[in-house]
Amino acid sequence: MPAFNDHSARVAGDELIKVVVADTMDIVCKGLPGALEPGGNIRVVGVCSTGFELVKIAQREKPNVVLLDSEIRACTYDEAIPLIHREVPEAKILVFGWPKEQRELGTIIYHEASGYVSRDITVENLVKAITMIAAGELVLSPQMANNVLQAFDGLQKKVHVRVPLLTNREREILSLVGRGQVNKDIAATLSISENTVKVHMRNVMKKVCLHTRGEAAAWLIAHY
The answer on 217 and 117 residing in a single domain is: no
Q: What sign results for the dihedral spanned by CA atoms 215, 216, 221, 224?
A: positive
167 pLDDT band (50/70/90 cuts)?
A: confident
- CATH code, domain with 186: 1.10.10.10
Show the domain range for 111. Answer: 17-148
What does the mean pLDDT of the chain come to? 77
pLDDT above 90 covers a percentage of the chain that reads 18
The most confident of 4-8, 131-135, 210-214, by mean pLDDT: 131-135
The answer on 142 and 50 residing in a single domain is: yes
Domain boundary among 101, 117, 148: 148
- CATH code, domain with 88: 3.40.50.2300
Is the CB of residue 36 less than 8 Å from the CB of residue 123?
Answer: yes
Is the CB of residue 71 less than 8 Å from the CB of residue 57?
Answer: no
* Residue 87 identity (one-letter amino acid): E
